[in-house]
Chain A
């Protein structure tokens, strides 16, 4: 697969993920929250705190997508192995890990405030685990890109 073509496919995938995130955070979650609030009026007061908390967890995802877009752009310009890409991937790793930790802490805090259920806290471990896996994968990629960038620099400056 040619580099420019790969970069275009990566950007298309990032746009796709962004659209999915928009649908989930702007449509699915608010609708689901409203249906839970309607079914359990005693928990209706939890709707807006939960919604704002979940929207906050979307911010690192958006930041990671923007960083991914810049990485795809550099891949298209034949700069796959550069320190900027290594730094961007390291930032994505921190964002993913931070988001997973924030989501877990938020769930625990809501549980302590009687705005959550232990079953929901357990269920939240699934997206938290996914976030941790993304963080580890991004950190590994960052390390590999950094090593490759160092090799590339040596090769570029070998006359």
Chain B
């Protein structure tokens, strides 16, 4: 059975001292979609969205993504 990809946005938000609302505004997605990302309900993430997240949080994709076996 395949594992899941977790978005560790909270860790980077704490490091950059940014709120979820500010991040959503910078990336250009709604708070609802940000919540979908954080709770692992997202079925697909656009490469452009990932690029915008990395730009806003000044980090690498590997800092945000974690593979967890189930």
Contacts and interface: CB of A to CB of B under 8 A. Distances in A.
Contact of A153 (B33, B43, B45, B46): B43
Interface string A115-159: 000000000000000000000000000000000000001100111
Nearest to B44: A158
Question: Main SS of the interface on chain A?
Answer: mixed
B56 to A, nearest CB: 14
Interface string B27-44: 001000100110001111
Contacts of A153: 43
A81 to B, nearest CB: 15
A157 B41 contact: yes
A154 B45 CA distance: 10
Interface in B11-55: 29, 33, 36-37, 41-46, 49
A75 to B, nearest CB: 23
Contact of A154 (B41, B43, B49): B43
A122 B45 CA distance: 59
Q: Of B37, B44, B46, B49, which is in contact with the most chain A CB atoms at under 10 Å from its CB?
A: B44
21 contacts: A153-B43, A154-B43, A154-B44, A157-B36, A157-B41, A157-B43, A157-B44, A158-B42, A158-B43, A158-B44, A158-B45, A158-B46, A159-B29, A159-B33, A159-B36, A159-B37, A159-B42, A159-B44, A159-B45, A159-B46, A159-B49
4 tightest A-B contacts by CB? A157-B43, A158-B44, A159-B33, A159-B42
